[in-house]
């Protein structure tokens, strides 16, 4: 019998793989894309970078789907606000994937501006979703610790997202670095949620299964008169 892999573990694996791809692109294409100034989406404009960038976003989308399953398996308390914001985060990922970014900030295009809007949605919606969910978790005794950890992740996500947003206006700020920090904060939110779901799934009581017996069920032998007299003696 092969061991089953939990949806939470799948979520962690997919999100970590996406983060590893971004880290690899940051190092491998540092001569073409400045990690201090240039956005992550610029990797898509270089040979070898386009399909890796696409793969990273697809892995995040798959991680989002796995996280939904993990939350249901673990019995994660629901929050309407968190659900809507999480859906906006997924939508932002889709927009970033479908619409290419601007080749140059000096020459904006319609797809490039749509890409930027999608990026703004995904960087703001996930930390807000984590904040809303953390408030809900703190009302359940067995989820209090997870709620506190998720709140810390939400705070880090909102801080990095705000800094990245400020870099769009203040040219002196390192927009590329701040965007990568915001992505790292979002990975931390996903990892925190998936880890909490996995722990709760492992701690949930499981019903005992009765041993399966092959063949006909065993029945007691009939009691004959002779056997009854022997039992009385």
What is the distance between the alpha carbons of residues 29 and 43, in angstroms, rounded to a whole number? 8
Residue 150 forms part of a structural domain: yes
Q: According to the model, what pLDDT value does residue 104 have?
A: 78
Domain that holds residue 131: 7-202
Q: According to the model, what pLDDT value does residue 203 have?
A: 67
Instruction: Report the candidate in 110, 131, 203, 122 with the shortest Cα–Cα distance to residue 165.
Output: 122
Q: Which helix (H) or strand (E) holds 158?
A: helix 144-167
pLDDT in tens, 151-178: 999 999 999 999 999 999 998 999 999 9
Stretch 35-48: mean pLDDT: 90
Q: What number of other Cβ atoms are within 10 A of residue 218's Cβ? A: 6
Residue 216 forms part of a structural domain: no
> How distant, in Å, are the alpha carbons of 10, 11, 41, 62, 150 from that of 17?
11, 10, 17, 11, 21
Residue 207 forms part of a structural domain: no
pLDDT in tens, 101-151: 988 777 889 999 999 999 999 999 999 999 999 999 999 999 999 999 999
Residue 57 forms part of a structural domain: yes
Cβ atoms of 60 and 14 closer than 8 Å: yes
* pTM, full prediction: 0.83
Q: Considering its fold, how many domains does the chain have in total?
A: 1
- Contacts by 98-102, CB closer than 8 A, 24 or more apart: 100/41, 100/44, 101/39, 101/41, 101/42, 101/44
Residue 221 forms part of a structural domain: no
Residue 231 forms part of a structural domain: no
Residue 81 forms part of a structural domain: yes
Cβ atoms of 197 and 71 closer than 8 Å: yes
Residue 180 forms part of a structural domain: yes
Q: According to the model, what pLDDT value does residue 208 have?
A: 42
Cα–Cα–Cα angle for 150, 68, 148, rounded to 5 degrees:
10
pLDDT over 60 (residue 219): no
Stretch 187-208: mean pLDDT: 82
Q: According to the model, what pLDDT value does residue 109 have?
A: 92
């Amino acid at each position: 019998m092969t061991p089953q892999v939990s949806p939470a573990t799948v979520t962690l694996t997919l999100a970590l793989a996406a983060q590893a791809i971004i880290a690899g692109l940051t190092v491998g294409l540092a001569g073409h894309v400045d990690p201090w100034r240039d956005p992550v989406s610029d990797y898509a404009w270089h040979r070898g970078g386009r399909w890796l960038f696409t793969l990273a976003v697809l892995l995040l989308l798959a991680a989002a789907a796995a996280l939904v399953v993990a939350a249901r398996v673990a019995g994660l308390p629901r929050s309407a606000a968190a659900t809507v914001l999480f859906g906006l985060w997924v939508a932002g990922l889709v927009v970033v994937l479908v619409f290419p970014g601007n080749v140059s900030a000096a020459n904006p295009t319609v797809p490039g501006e749509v890409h930027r809007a999608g990026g703004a949605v995904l960087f703001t919606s996930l930390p807000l979703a984590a904040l809303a969910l953390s408030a809900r978790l703190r009302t359940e005794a067995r989820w209090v610790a997870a709620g506190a950890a998720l709140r810390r992740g939400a705070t880090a996500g909102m801080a990095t997202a705000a800094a990245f947003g400020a870099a769009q206006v203040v040219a002196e700020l390192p927009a590329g670095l701040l965007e990568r920090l915001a992505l790292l904060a979002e990975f931390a939110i996903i990892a925190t949620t998936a880890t909490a779901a996995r722990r709760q799934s492992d701690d949930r009581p499981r019903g005992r299964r009765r041993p399966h017996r092959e063949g006909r069920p065993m029945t007691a032998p009939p009691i004959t008169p002779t056997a009854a007299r022997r039992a009385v003696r």
